[in-house]
Chains A and B, each alone.
Chain A
Amino acid sequence: MSNEWPLWEVFIRGQHGLSHRHVGSLHAPDAEMAVNNARDVYTRRNEGVSIWVVPANEITASAPGEKGPLFEPANSKVYRHPTFFNIPKEVGQM
C-alpha cells in the first residue's frame, strides 16, 4: 500500500460570481482525474461553475504559532475602518 494517490485541495467557484473557495480535498493520480473526482465529490448539487485543484503539498501555509506577529498589528489600526470617522449627518451620503 505504498503507492497512494497524492492529495489535492479543491476550490470551487459558486454560482454567484464569487471567488473560488476551498471546499475540501481528495486523492487522485493526476490533475485531470482530480478535477473529475472533484466534480463528483463536491458538485453533486450544482454547487459550482468552476473547479481548481492544487496539489496539497504545493501549498505554503502560515504557521499557527505566527498568528500573533502576523495578524495582531492590524488590531491597533482601527482608522482603516470607515466607522472610525464621525461625519456629521448634514454632510450627507459618504
Chain B
Amino acid sequence: MYAQEVKSTGKGLKTLEEMDPEERAFQEKIDANIKIEPKEWMPEGYRKTLIRQISQHAHSEIVGQLPEGNWITRAPTLDRKAILLAKVQDEAGHGLYLYCAAETLGISRDQMTEQLLSGKAKYSSIFNYPTLTWADIGAIGWLVDGAAIMNQVPIQRCSFGPYSRAMIRVCKEESFHQRQGYDIMMVLAKGTPEQKEMAQDALNRWWWPSLMMFGPPDAESVHSVQSMAWKIKMNTNDELRQKFVDQTVPQAEYLGLKVPDDDLKWNEEKDGYDFGEIDWGEFYEILKGNGPCNKERLGARQKAWSDGEWFREGLMAYSKKRKARKVAAE
C-alpha cells in the first residue's frame, strides 16, 4: 500500500513455545491487543520492519504532494484551488505525524530523509504517474485516497501505539480528500461531453495503478505472515484490493463512467466482483525506479532539500545565538 515493499526479517513464524520468555511475553501482549509503546522491549525484527513500514508510509505522504501540487496554480476556480491547497497541506501533515512515529523507534528524521533522497527507501508506486489533466486531481482523490483509506482504517488498530495514534489522526482527515475528489469527478461527469471524456480518461489511467497500490498478490507477499502476527499489517493485500473494487465499481457507475477492465464481472457466489489480471511487470518496473515520473519526483525532493539547507541552518544558528545571549545575560 503506502508501504508496498516492506521486507520483514521473518524466518518463518515461531510458535509461542519456541520463543524465549521476553519474546513470548511480547507476542502475548500483542495477541491480547495491548499496545506496544516505544521504550518497551520489542524484537529487533519488529522494530526494523516497523521503521521501514512507517518511513515508507511517511515518504509516500510527502512525495504524494507532488502530483497534486502540479495543479494548485491551475485549479479551475478559486474554491477548487483553496480546497486542493488544504488537501495537499494535510498530506504534509500526514507525513509529519508518521515521521514522528518512526522516530520513536530510534531512527532520526535526517536519516529517513537521507534514505528517501538516496533512493534507498521506497514510496508508493502510485506517485510516479503524471497528472495530465484537472480530472486527474478528481481521480486521485477518489481512487488513490480511497485506496489509502481502505488500507489505513485497519492500521488504526495496529499493535504499535505511536503508529496507531498517527493513523487515527490521518483517517479523520482522509475522508475529506476522497470526497473532494469524487466531487470533482461528479462535476466533470455531468459537464460537457469533453469534460465527461476527460473524467473517463483519468479513470482509465488511474484505475490499474490504484489497484497496484495494495501491493503484490498474497501468493507473492512472503513477508505478510510475520507482519500479520505482529499486527502491523491487519489484512492481506488481496483482501483489501477486493474490498476496494467492490466499493468503487458502483461509484464509477453512478458517475456514468466505465471501469477500464473487460473482465470485470459481478460474481454472485463470492458476493464481489471478479476482475482482470494486473500488470505486475509495470508495478515492479516502477519500484525499480523506471516509472514515468520516478526521476522527476525524487529530483523535486532532492532540490527542495538542498534549496532549503541555508534556511534550516540559518534558523538553527539564530536559535543557538539567542540561547547563548540569554545564558550570557543571566
Contacts and interface: CB of A to CB of B under 8 A. Distances in A.
A25 B316 contact: no
A44 interface: yes
A54 interface: no
A71 interface: no
A20 to B, nearest CB: 16
Interface in B71-97: 86, 89-90, 93, 96-97
B103 A7 contact: yes
Interface string A11-41: 0000000000001111101100100000011
A90 interface: no
Contact of A24 (B108, B166, B315): B166
Given A1-B110, A29-B315, A29-B318, A44 B103 contact: no
B39 interface: yes
Contacts of B319: 29-30, 33
Contacts of A61: 39
B39 A4 contact: no
B312 interface: yes
A26 B313 contact: no
B110 to A, nearest CB: 4
Contacts of B30: none
A64 B37 contact: yes
Given A64-B39, A64-B40, A3 B109 contact: no
Contacts of B100: 7, 24-26
Contact of A4 (B41, B96, B109): B109
Contacts of B316: 3, 5, 29
B39 A63 contact: yes
Given A1-B113, A5-B316, A7-B103, A26 B96 contact: yes
Contacts of B114: 1
Contacts of A24: 97, 100, 165-166, 169
A44 B89 contact: yes
A43 B90 CA distance: 11
A29 B113 CA distance: 17
A25 to B, nearest CB: 5
A25 B108 CA distance: 13
Interface in B264-323: 312-313, 315-316, 318-319, 322
Among B41, B100, B109, B313, the one with the most A-chain Cβ atoms within 10 Å of its Cβ is: B100
A69 to B, nearest CB: 16
A46 to B, nearest CB: 13
Contacts of B40: 64
A7 B110 CA distance: 12
A44 B91 CA distance: 12
B172 to A, nearest CB: 8
Contacts of A44: 86, 89-90, 93, 173
Contacts of A40: 89, 93
Contacts of A45: 173
B43 to A, nearest CB: 15
Contacts of B318: 29-30
A26 to B, nearest CB: 6
A7 B103 CA distance: 10
B243 to A, nearest CB: 27
Given A5-B316, A24-B97, 7 more contacts: A29-B312, A30-B319, A33-B315, A41-B93, A44-B89, A44-B173, A64-B40
Interface of B: 37, 39-41, 86, 89-90, 93, 96-97, 100, 103, 108-110, 113-114, 165-166, 169, 173, 312-313, 315-316, 318-319, 322
Nearest 8 A/B pairs, CB to CB: A29-B315, A30-B319, A1-B110, A29-B319, A64-B40, A25-B100, A4-B110, A29-B316
15 contacts: A1-B113, A4-B108, A4-B110, A5-B312, A5-B315, A24-B97, A24-B165, A26-B96, A29-B316, A29-B319, A30-B322, A33-B319, A44-B89, A44-B90, A64-B37
